[in-house]
Amino acid sequence: MTDLPVIRLRPKSKPQAIRHGFPWVYEDEAVLDRRTRNLQPGSFALLEDAERKPLATVTVNTNSKIVARVMDAAPDAVIDGEWLRTRLTRAYQMRERLYDAPFYRLVHAEADGLPGLIVDRFGDVAVMQPNAAWADAMADQIADALVSVVGVSTVVLNGQGRARSLEGLDERMEVIRGATPAAPVQVQMNGAVYLADVMGGQKTGIFYDQRPNQAFAQRLVSGGDVLDVFSHVGGFGLAMLAAGAESATCVDGSAAALDLAKGGAREMSADSRLTVLQSDAFKALEKLAEEGRQFDVVICDPPAFAPAKQALEAGLRAYERVAKLAAPLVKPGGYLGLCSCSHAVDLTQFRNVSARGIGRGGRRGVLIHSGGAGPDHPTLPQLAETGYLKALFFRLD
């Protein structure tokens, strides 16, 4: 028997969803009395159905719309350092099987059985994002597990972003194990070299999820010129320079990110073939069209235009506008890659607005490839949010 407090589902809630692997309980699905609301955010509880039958061990945060997240299907689970090491070992062993170099997403939240926790590995450095209250409260134990299981020497806690605010967590950034990285970390992927600012960059410093899509884009290069819009540190642009592109133009609003892109190109001895343009992406697309510029490959990988369902319609319009502006910049017979990291936008919706935008841009084309995130970003079938990334590649006539 467990001595954990109990949180119970309402009579009309469907406990079979939890039994079949859905990991969340929303605020309107649980009995939230004074006792439940007084539970410390991030504390653990026993989840029961309306008939008082045990369902799982959960973590509770009544400050969030997701009031409970399943930690373990076992109702008597003990969430401690040993439990963390077991979950982390399972995640680590899979990545080590998949990748030859220690650069990957090590923990992908619910899909790795560690709800709300993101960990990216950069060699001897691990950057963790504790986006759920339990992970924030157990950050030191998570760091200890990373050191003991993975063998990293430095653990950075990146406590920033929208996900934390939804949990009612404060922003913070600190090195909790080891020494502060003195310089951007070099990351090698697909033959390209990237520089990741693990202390001050976006997210953890780099986006590992696009690795397979960047590899596919490399197959489209046969010399020629490439345009990488919303490039961040040069994700697609540097990959295609490594594959033999004659030139790459990277467009981003962040001067710091573009400086890192230039640094990566220098490490590849490709800096003479890279041009960077700091600009609002939409304005840059319009200006390039006014100049009559065209490229063999154009990639647009914007931030999430629809981070939640409330932003869906506006997000779909923004994705359509990107496609409309980008399509005329592709040479006849060239390729256009369009990406979305909005979990509120499903693949069918994204495909439809992308095709409509291409048409509104005066072009026609065929869809040649649909991609998602790499296997270091596993998808929990019961939770669509873990399969957020969509990448579509078109050949335009």
Q: What is the CA radius of gyration of the chain?
A: 22
Helix 312-326, helix 347-360: angle, nearest 10: 40
Contact 208, 196 (CB under 8 A): no
What is the CA 326 to chain-centroid distance, rounded?
Answer: 24
Smallest CA-to-CA distance from 234 within 104, 201, 222 is with: 201
The residue annotated as part of the active site, out of 250, 300, 339, 341, is 341
Q: In degrees, to the nearest 5, what angle opens at C-alpha 311 toward C-alphas 306 and 312? A: 70
How far separated are the first and last CA of the chain, in Å rounded?
66
Contact 45, 5 (CB under 8 A): yes
DSSP characters over 295-363: EEEEEE----S-SSGGGHHHHHHHHHHHHHHHGGGEEEEEEEEEEE--TTS-HHHHHHHHHHHHHHTT-
Residue 300 a catalytic site member: no
| Core vs surface per residue 160-170: b (16+ CB within 10 A) or e | beebbebbebe
Which H or E run includes 44? strand 43-48
Structure tokens at 279: 């600009």
Q: How far is CA 206 from CA 83, 238, 260, 277, in A?
A: 29, 13, 11, 19
- Active-site positions read 341
